[in-house]
Structure 1
Amino acid sequence: MKFTDSQRFYSVNNFLKEQFGKKMIKLSIEAGFTCPNRDGKLGYGGCKFCSSGGSGELASDIPSQINLLSDKWPNAGHLAYFQSHTNTYAPIDVLRSKYYAALSHPCIEGIVIATRPDCLDDQILDLLAEMNKDYFMWIELGLQTIHENTLTKMNIGYHLADYDKAIFELSRRNIRTVTHLILGLPEETERDMFDSLHYVTNSGIFGIKLHLMNIVSTSPLYKEMPNYVSFDSLDSYVDLVVAMLEEIPPDITIHRLTGDVPRNILISPEWSYKKRTILNAINKELRTRNTYQGAKLDI
């Protein structure tokens, strides 16, 4: 991947423009799913960092999302993004109905499905493989960290072995996979975060999302650790993200470099709602250091 002064990492926006020849937008869909960590199958309350909305506060339905975004991007194409909660956690006939209903919408040109790595049985994997043959698609796996002690403390309810199995099964069906990592989880060191990064970037993924650890008022973690702040300053977060970008292979698409939390529920870091400011700072620091995605891998 050849980078320029203005484009120093392989953004998913660039990848989608290469694929579709135009700007593409993910429409965040609320499809009514829940999670095995909320309904009692594995636990209650969800992951400690997760909001009551299943980290999908901005999700709605396809027409509402198109109306919301059409003024800003009138000529864009659209992908249906099943975002809130666990979007493969339902009977197979329900999943088939919801996925194909979205794909049948005349404005939808592909599908993105976010889920947990422990919610992909053979029936679901076969359904995903079926859709993957006829439609543009990728699957997002919310791993967050490779460290078992953190997974346990955050009440996540799955294990690294579940991720490994999911990656293997998705890969052998030629399904693109995007892995989510959270930066700044309680008690994790910078070394812990880099270990997670190196693990997932060597697992054959198509893309990666780096989330800033936000404390939100509707999360169990806020009740348990109301004063927790993941990063003391915007600069410290930017420094970490730039260092991580230098160690991500240049063919892996970058889907997120911060968080996306409504300001009315954000507790900390207090500056993290400034998404554009954070992204601008990351891009500026890449230019200042004259560095780029994968730079450390070239040494």
Structure 2
Amino acid sequence: MRFNKLDLNLLVALDALLSEESITRAADKVHIGQSAMSNALARLREFFDDELLVQVGRHMEPTPRALALKDPVRDVLIRVEAAVVSQPRFDPSVSDREFRLTVSDYTSAVLVPHLLSLMHRQSCKVRLILLPQVVNPQRALERGEVDLMIIPERFASTEHLTEHLFNESFQCLVWKESPLAHGELTLERYLAHGHVVMQPNNGTAYETAALAAKGIHRRIDVTTFSFATAPRMVVNTSLIVTIHERLARQAARALPVVSRPMPVKIEPMTQVMQWHKYRSNDPGLVWLRNALKIAAREMDLE
């Protein structure tokens, strides 16, 4: 099919080339030979009267024209996929579809096990790929590189649809032999001791931002990359970790730690799922969203 003399199949090749910035990787991505991809690039260069990708040392870099095309081309392909490619019905017990989700390790620890349990009960054949929430995860959603994000509402994109999953409060964890395990954990004691803080790749942790909004800044002795492992770091120390209440309950069952109320109130975190606005009616994503809502309800029956 052609539009204004452009073979629309070339848009798939162009999208892969602009995403991978490599003829070899682009060919692998769309499952064609390298020579076929080179030919596609030559035809694209002729149509757009632009080099699109130029060799710089061992790498290929996009031209300004290519950068201007990158998002519109991806947008067109997402629209086509949403309107034409998606199947009218979805049966998770038959489909081997692969869903790509961006999640924090907190979500992986408290929610995903319940989703997997539900999938097991439904004899699902679908597959999940869980991806970390790197810097600007909204970009991956925008480009259709992930199917769904699970993210605090305040960090979600304003351009796409969200649905509430659950709310989360916060607790403090301390080693059970620490003096902080006894007596009231006042704000003065809270600020006098060192803290373990998780620093996400995509910005500031929710509780850090919430405390900072109240003018409260902790003495941070340890910065880590994992919510799930942070509770282990207070054992045999006088450190404090401020953590999601559900993770705190998990840690208290497995570690010599005790949970203490926070000395200052912060608003609960609202966790939402978000998907591309063009894919609201995708039957597979409708099933996945419903499965996540069921998993969230079952999570709190523990």
TM-score bin, normalised by smaller chain:
under 0.3
TM-score between both structures, scaled by the size of structure 2: 0.25
Greater strand proportion = 2
TM-score between both structures, scaled by the size of structure 1: 0.25
Higher relative contact order (CA 8 A, sep 6+): 2
Greater helix proportion = 2
Q: Which has the larger Rg?
A: 2
